[in-house]
Structure 1
Amino acid sequence: MSAQSLAYVELYVGDSPAVQDYFMTAMGFTRVAESVTDRQTSSLLRQGEVDLVVTSGPATTQFLNEHGDGVADIALSCDDVPATSDAARAAGADVTVVDGQPVVSGFGAVRHTLVPADFGRWPANRVRTRQPGAPTESGRHVRLLDHVAICVAGGSLQKVVDFYGAGLGLTPFSSEYVDVGGQAMDSVVVRSASGGVTFTLVAPDLARNSGQLDAFLERNGGPGVQHLAFLVDDILSAVAQFRERGVTFLSTPRSYYDMLGERFPEMASEIGALRAANVLADRDEWGYLLQLFSRSPHDRNTLFYELIQRRGSRGFGSRNIRALYEAVERDRLVAE
C-alpha cells in the first residue's frame, strides 16, 4: 500500500500556448493528447517516461490567483489504490473521489491523484479529443522525472516527512542542512521502495535570515513545487540545445571550476566543457552526477526546472546542494 511511480504531473497555467511552446520548442516534448471542456483545457505533453499535463481555463482560476503558474497535481501510481488511500487518510490527508479516482491532499494546494499500476498515462477524468501522435525523436534528451523538489514552510518539514512515510510509503533517503551566510535551509529526500518516486523536501530555517525559500513561499502563496528535475543522458548536449532554443540557465562563479579541478582531478579533461556550460559536478559513494538549473519561465518566478545526469550517483551531492542554493540566491538578488 504505497506509491510506486510518478504517473503524471499536472500544471495549472494562465497562458497555456506559451507554456506548451516552452516545453515543446525548447525542451523537445511532444503534445500527444488533448481534452477540452467548458471548465478546462488540458494537453498531455510527453518525452521519454515523463508525462506533463498542462491545464488552463475557469477550473484553474482560484489556484492561479493564489499561486500563479505551478504544479497542482502529482499523480502517483500505487500497488493498491484503496489501501494507499486509506493510509493517506489515516495519516491526516483529506481524500476525495473524482470520477472514481481517489485524490489525496498533499502540501499547500498540491494534491495527489492515486491511480493503479496499469494506469494508461492520461488522467482518467479527461476525455481525449486528440489521439496520441508519434513522438518527435530528434533532439529528445529527457528520459524521466528524476525528482520533484518541494518547498514547505519553516518548522513543518518533519511533519511533512512523517506524512509521506505513513500515508504514501515514501521513506527518508538522505538529509542535508545548508548554511549560506546568514540564511539556511533543511532538506530531506524521501523515496518510494520502488525508487520510482523521489521528493526532495526543503524548508527555510526560521532561526536564520530570510532567503530564497522564504521568497518562494511568499511568491507562491505558500508551499508548492519549487522545481522539476529531468534526467538526461548527456547534459552538455541537452544544455547546449535547450539554451539555443530559448531556455535560460543559472550561472556559476568561475572559482567553482577552479575548486572542481582540485576536488576531482580525474575529471580534468571535462572541466573546460562543464565551465563553458555552467554545469555543476559532484559525487557520492556510488558515482558522479552533473546538474544545472533553469531560470523560471513563469511570471511569478516560482517553478523552475533542472537537468540532471547521473553517472552512477544515487544521491544529490552535498557540495552541489550548496552550490545550487547559492546559484538560485544570486539569481534572486539580481532579479530584485
Structure 2
Amino acid sequence: MRDLCDGRGRTVRYLRLSVTDRCNLRCMYCRSNVREHSIPHQEILRYEEMARMVGVAASLGIEKVRLTGGELFVRRGCDTFLSMLRARYPEIDLRITTNGTLLEPHISLLRRVNVHVVNLSLDSFDRGTFAAVTGRDMLPDVLRALEALLSARLRVKINVVAMRGVNDGQMDDFVHAALTMPLDLRFIEFMPMSSGTLWNTENFWPAGEIKKEAERRVRLLPEADSPASAGPARMYRIVGGKGRMGFITPVTEPFCLACNRLRMTSDGALRTCLFADREYRLRGLLRHPEITDARIAQIIRRVCANKPVGADILYARPLNGAVAAKQMSGIGG
C-alpha cells in the first residue's frame, strides 16, 4: 500500500463522511439565509455504500474517519451504521461531529463501538444566544448530552464558531467550561462559506483577538498534541484548569499546506478541499456492479493529485464575498 499523496506532497490520512445533509437546527453560519433544499432520499448514499467507501479509503492509508452531517442522528439507522463500521474496520480511528440535541440516547452505543472523539457544536452557553444562532431553543438538551458524555468518559471537543456581535461577549462562560470540565474547547473563525453567507468584516472575530480575550481571564500555555492526534487547532493548557482551549484559524492563518483530509458528501461526491466547488461524483461508481474497489481507489488517487490549496481560493474572493457555493450542511460540517 502506497500513501495517498496529492500533487504538493501532502499525505491524506483523514476522511470526513457526511451521513446526511438534513439537520434539526438552522445555524446562521451553516445554512445561513438560503432557502433549504434537502437532497432527495434516493440520491443519498446507502449505509452499505458508505461503509464500502470507508473500506476503499482504509486501503489507501486513511486512518481517521469522522462522521458528520447535517446532524447524523437525524438519519434513521445511524446506530446500526456505527456498529457496522466498527465491526468491519476495527482499527479505524472513528469520530463524530454532532450538534448534541439528539445525542443522549446514543451515548452508550458510542462507548461500545469505541468512538474515539465526539465533537460537539456548541456556540453559546446562554440559552437566548443559542436559540438565536441555531433557530431552536434546545440548549438544555445539548447540556444534558455534554454531561452524559463526560460521565461516560468519552473524549469531548466543543466547537465554538466565533462571531463578533453574537457570542463575543460570553468569554466568561467559555473559560468557565474549559476550567471546570475535562474537554477541549476550540474557537473556530467564522468562515465565508456558501453563496448566501452572513459573513462580513463586521461580524468576523479573529482568533488573535479571541485568544487575547481569554488571556485576560486565565493563563494559557502552548501544548502540542501527538502527530497522530494533532489537528488544525493550536491547543493551550489552562493553568489550574481541567480542560484545554484551542484556536482554529482558517481565515487569518490558513493551515492548507498541512491539510490531510478528503470530504465525502452524503450524496456521494468527493471534495478534495472545503473551499473548492469542484466535486467528483462517486455515487454511480459505488452502485455499479462491475466497478471494483481497486478501480475506485485508482480514481481517488488521480483526483487527489489535483487537491488545491484552499487559501488561494479564499484570498482570491472579493471583499465580503464567499468561497464555495454549497452550504456547509450540504458539504458536511
TM class by shorter chain equals: under 0.3
What TM-score do the two structures reach when normalised by structure 1? 0.27
Q: Which has the higher contact order (CA 8 A, sep 6+)?
A: 2
Question: Which of the pair is proportionally richer in strand?
Answer: 1
What TM-score do the two structures reach when normalised by structure 2? 0.28
